[in-house]
A and B are shown apart, each in its own frame.
Chain A
Amino acid sequence: TQLLEQSPQFLSIQEGENLTVYCNSSSVFSSLQWYRQEPGEGPVLLVTVVTGGEVKKLKRLTFQFGDARKDSSLHITAAQPGDTGLYLCAGDGKEEYGNKLVFGAGTILRVKS
Chain B
Amino acid sequence: NAGVTQTPKFQVLKTGQSMTLQCAQDMNHEYMSWYRQDPGMGLRLIHYSVGAGITDQGEVPNGYNVSRSTTEDFPLRLLSAAPSQTSVYFCASSRPGHGGIGELFFGEGSRLTVL
Contact = CB atoms under 8 A, between A and B. Distances in A.
A103 interface: yes
B48 interface: yes
Interface residues of B, number: 28
B27 interface: no
Contacts of B50: 99
Nearest to B45: A100
A92 B31 CA distance: 14
A2 interface: yes
Interface stretch (B64-72, B79-87, B96-104): B96-104
Contact of B99 (A41, A94, A106): A94
A106 B40 CA distance: 7
B42 interface: yes
Q: How large is the interface on A (under 10, 10 to 19, 20 to 34, 35 or more residues)?
A: 20 to 34
A106 B42 contact: yes
Interface in A10-47: 30-31, 33, 35, 40-45
Contacts of B102: 92
B45 A40 contact: no
Interface of A: 2, 6, 9, 30-31, 33, 35, 40-45, 48, 50, 88, 90, 92-94, 99-101, 103-106
Q: 6 tightest A-B contacts by CB? A: A42-B106, A92-B100, A105-B42, A31-B98, A103-B43, A94-B100
Given A6-B42, A92-B99, 17 more contacts: A2-B42, A30-B99, A35-B104, A41-B108, A41-B109, A45-B104, A48-B97, A92-B100, A94-B100, A100-B48, A100-B101, A101-B101, A101-B104, A103-B35, A103-B43, A103-B44, A106-B42
